[in-house]
Amino acid sequence: MPQKIPTENIGLSRANHVGIVVSDLASSIKFYEALTGTKIENVDQIGGPRMAAVQGMEKVLIKYANVHLDNLNIDLLQYDEPKPKTASYQGNDIGAMHLCFEVDDLDAIYRRMKDAGLEFSGEPIIFEDGDGLKKGAGTAVAYFDDPDGTHLEIIAPRGPFKRK
């Protein structure tokens, strides 16, 4: 059922984390540590009736790890209860999301990632006026997936894509 759209400003202006459900926490820790250059310091588990209730489930047991970036945390979540099913989605499916990492030099990072064996959805592009943008030409992007198929992106932003 679609969520009701609020008519008043709620005031959410900061993001704390994005959660990514993974099939193998240990493997995902290795992947995201290598990808971000960040050593994961917190690995734990949570579950029980209160956690299940807040998620609208009957039972929950989650093993998790927190990746702390400069501006956002990534929670890697391995559900042991209930057993997860594998999601399959395209980037244009309703509800599909991706996590984008900001970089200064997309070409250099792309080459390092390729040299490390990562595969990309396609070659990187730099947005041009002919791409239909009103602003943002010069922004470079490339897309790839984590080992579980979660869609990820790297961006060297320009214009309105650059955060303040």
Nearest to 57 by CA among 74, 79, 72, 36: 79
Q: pTM higher than 0.85 for the full model? A: yes
With 0-12 / 13-18 / 19 or more C-beta atoms within 10 angstroms meaning exposed / middle / buried, residue 119 is exposed
- The single-letter DSSP state of residue 144 is E
Rounded to whole angstroms, how far apart are CA atoms 139 and 34?
25
pLDDT in tens, 110-146: 999 999 999 999 999 999 988 888 888 999 999 999 9
pLDDT given at position 45? 96
- pLDDT tens-digit series, residues 7-33: 888 888 888 999 999 999 999 999 999
